[in-house]
Structure 1
Amino acid sequence: MTIIRLGYVAMSEHVKNASPSQTMTFAQFSKIADRDAAIRKLERIAASNIHNCLRLLRHNAANDIAFFRLSSRLIPLANHPELKDWNFIRPLKESLDNIKEFLMEHPDMRVDFHPDHFVLLNTPDKETLQVSIKTLRMHEMLLKSMGIDTEHRCVLHVGGGYNDHEQALEQFIHNWGLISPTLQKMIMLENDDTTFTLSEGLYLCEKLGIPLVFDYHHFMVHHHEHESLENDWDRIIKTWNQSQLPPKMHISSPRSERDFRAHADYVDSGQLVQFLDSIKGSVPRLDCMIEAKKKDEALFALIRDLEQYPGIEKIDGGSFYIK
């Protein structure tokens, strides 16, 4: 028997006007003649994003959802090279403290980030690597300011293939040595749908002591003939042995046979149950992040659909047992 906790990504279909990803382009910023006024506007947008994030967390708590992906776009232009002197944490301290207080009151709630695809830790380009490290530092500052233990809170893809997978994997290992231990501690790796497969991700995770976040949809789309969950699931779980957190995975369903890589609005419950039946009992708890277009509505629909299956016992609005 395994407890499955469901989560969703950043936005809600049910909480209206609550985007945590409102933004401002640098072009818009530059059009404001008074730079201080432009920065104050940035701070107002960021404070609104953080407030909306808190609204979503409250919505989650009210609906028994204890797993949530924070938006990596909470702070617009946080890493822009023209705003190096902007200490955004200080003016946003009260807003961030509100989230910190909420999470202290809900210690079982798991939150994390999935930084954008331009964070490339296997890049051979030094400047790109430095920008990637800077982005990770920004996530680290936000996590600490919200009172969140930074361990294993940022999911990344391995990076680019650069026309030579073996060399790209070795470049990741080389670059890993250039990253501070505190940032290394934050990172989890995910198998992706176009470049690095499950076995390639496992190669890095096992070598470097990084947890692997298994993406089932990506695995269906992109895997080698020799790869199988039957052979590799135990290896996936073992990458979490040194983590304080339970293993996590990503779940989504193909939009269609023709558009198999794209995420559907909802999750195919039959497909999920078939997978969970194959791994139940291998771990006490598994946290599943839903990457579906309908966000929290996809989670609610999945919980309703799962009630028809005999091996499922609902715990609450966001979790269940698979027996």
Structure 2
Amino acid sequence: MTIVRLGYVAMSVHLQNCSPSQTMTFAQFQRIPDCDAAIRKLERIAVSNLENCLRLLKHNLAHDIRFFRLSSKLIPLANHQELEGWNYIQPLRAILKEIAEFLHKHPMRVDFHPDHFVLLNSPDSEILKMSMKTLRIHQLLLNGMNIPSKHRCVLHIGGGYNDKEKALEQFIHNWAFVPNDLQEMIMLENDDTTFTLENTLYLCEKLEIPLVFDLHHHLANHDNSDWKPQWERIVEIWKHSPLPLKMHISSPRSDQDFRAHNDFVDPDMFMRFLHDIKGTVPQIDCMIEAKRKDGALFQLVNNLKGYPEIEWIDQATFSIQ
């Protein structure tokens, strides 16, 4: 038996006016003549994003959803070089504390997936520094919410730079420059264009980093290898983590546009996967990466109710025999 917990990404299609990713461009910032007033506006946007984040967490609680990806766009321009001295966390402490108190009362697994410009295998030292600065922002937010930071940020390996083997070794080289407290935040995900499951396993085993298996990415980028012989290695890697094994689930938009995410998840594909892995782990947390966000989760739940081998624990968690 394996327990399966479903989660979704960042925002809801059911809650109105609840975006956690409201933003301001640097051009808009510059058009405000008073710099202090511009910074106060940035802070108001960040507070609003976090207030909406709390609304989303309450929405999740009402539907027994205890697995959620936070938006990485909570604080606009936080890592912009022209705002180097801005203490962006201070004005957020009250709302961060409110979120912390909510999560203490209603425990949920929450994490981040920093944007694609976080490149820990970059040969450019300035890009590496900016990547670590972005990770530090995520760490400060986690600390403000009183969430243990270990294994809370999913990253792709980075760029192939026309030599994939060299790019993998560059990641290992750069890893030595990443502070230990940032290292422990990181999980790595196989991607859909460059680094396969096998490539990602190589780094994860060498550096003791958990691997977030993305089945859709594997189907798009697998070098003619099957994921099943590698599953035991994925499970073994998670023994270093205090959290259950995590994966991403999504379905292709079409055969012609295979890499793009569908609005919903194909329940038959998901069930085939679950039948292959059931009993190999006590629990697996499945993050739905579908265009319809929580709507895709609700639709998948409805679809799965037709399978007799599933026993529902609550509205978003079930066991499979």
TM-score (norm 1): 0.99
Which whole-Å deviations, capped at 9, do the CAs of 1:33-84 have from their partners, x for residues lacking one?
0000000000000000000000000000010000000000000000000001
User: 5 Å matches for 1:241-252?
Assistant: 241-252=239-250
Letter in 1 for 2:157: V
What is aligned with 2:257?
259
What is aligned with 2:217?
218
What is aligned with 1:167?
166
Which whole-Å deviations, capped at 9, do the CAs of 1:222-257 have from their partners, x for residues lacking one?
1022x2222100001111011000000000000111
What is aligned with 1:306?
304
Letter in 1 for 2:314: D
Letter in 1 for 2:122: T
**In structure 1, how many angstroms separate the alpha carbons of the residues matched to 2:79 and 2:195?**
27
What is aligned with 2:294?
296
User: 5 Å matches for 1:38-57?
Assistant: 38-57=38-57
**In structure 1, how many angstroms separate the alpha carbons of the residues matched to 2:214 and 2:228?**
15
**In structure 2, how many angstroms separate the alpha carbons of the residues matched to 1:33 and 1:13?**
36
RMSD (Å), alpha carbons: 0.6
What is aligned with 1:116?
115
**Do structure 1's residue 321 and structure 2's residue 319 form an aligned pair?**
yes
Instruction: Answer whether contact 2:197 2:227 (CA < 8 A) is retained.
Output: no
What is aligned with 2:140?
141
Tell me how far 1:313 sits from its aligned partner: 1.2
2:7 aligns to what SS in structure 1? Answer: strand
Which of 269, 278, 281 is the aligned partner of 1:280?
278
What is aligned with 2:80?
80
Which whole-Å deviations, capped at 9, do the CAs of 1:198-236 have from their partners, x for residues lacking one?
0000000000000000000001111022x2222100001
Which whole-Å deviations, capped at 9, do the CAs of 1:248-297 have from their partners, x for residues lacking one?
00000001111111000000001100010000000000000000000001
Which whole-Å deviations, capped at 9, do the CAs of 1:137-170 have from their partners, x for residues lacking one?
1101110011000000000000000000110000
5+ residue gaps, structure 1: none
**In structure 1, how many angstroms separate the alpha carbons of the residues matched to 2:61 and 2:77?**
30
**Do structure 1's residue 126 and structure 2's residue 120 form an aligned pair?**
no
**In structure 2, how many angstroms separate the alpha carbons of the residues matched to 1:203 and 1:320?**
32
What is aligned with 1:26?
26
1:267 aligns to what SS in structure 2? Answer: coil
Which of 236, 239, 243 is the aligned partner of 1:238?
236
**In structure 1, how many angstroms separate the alpha carbons of the residues matched to 2:256 and 2:320?**
31
What is aligned with 1:12?
12
Letter in 1 for 2:3: I
**In structure 1, how many angstroms separate the alpha carbons of the residues matched to 2:77 and 2:320?**
43
Tell me how far 1:312 sits from its aligned partner: 1.1
**In structure 1, how many angstroms separate the alpha carbons of the residues matched to 2:39 and 2:227?**
49
2:209 aligns to what SS in structure 1? Answer: coil
Aligned residue pairs total 321
**In structure 2, how many angstroms separate the alpha carbons of the residues matched to 1:230 and 1:203?**
16
Moved over 4 A (4+): none
Instruction: Answer whether contact 2:4 2:317 (CA < 8 A) is retained.
Output: yes
2:239 aligns to what SS in structure 1? Answer: coil
Tell me how far 1:126 sits from its aligned partner: 0.4
**In structure 2, how many angstroms separate the alpha carbons of the residues matched to 1:274 and 1:33?**
58
**Do structure 1's residue 154 and structure 2's residue 163 form an aligned pair?**
no
**In structure 1, how many angstroms separate the alpha carbons of the residues matched to 2:228 and 2:137?**
38
**In structure 2, how many angstroms separate the alpha carbons of the residues matched to 1:262 and 1:312?**
29
Letter in 1 for 2:167: A
Q: Which deviates more from structure 2 when the two are superposed, residues 310-319 or residues 68-77?
A: 310-319
What is aligned with 1:194?
193
Tell me how far 1:311 sits from its aligned partner: 1.3
1:117 aligns to what SS in structure 2? Answer: coil
**In structure 1, how many angstroms separate the alpha carbons of the residues matched to 2:176 and 2:106?**
36
**Do structure 1's residue 65 and structure 2's residue 27 form an aligned pair?**
no
Letter in 2 for 1:102: F
Instruction: Answer whether contact 2:218 2:227 (CA < 8 A) is retained.
Output: no
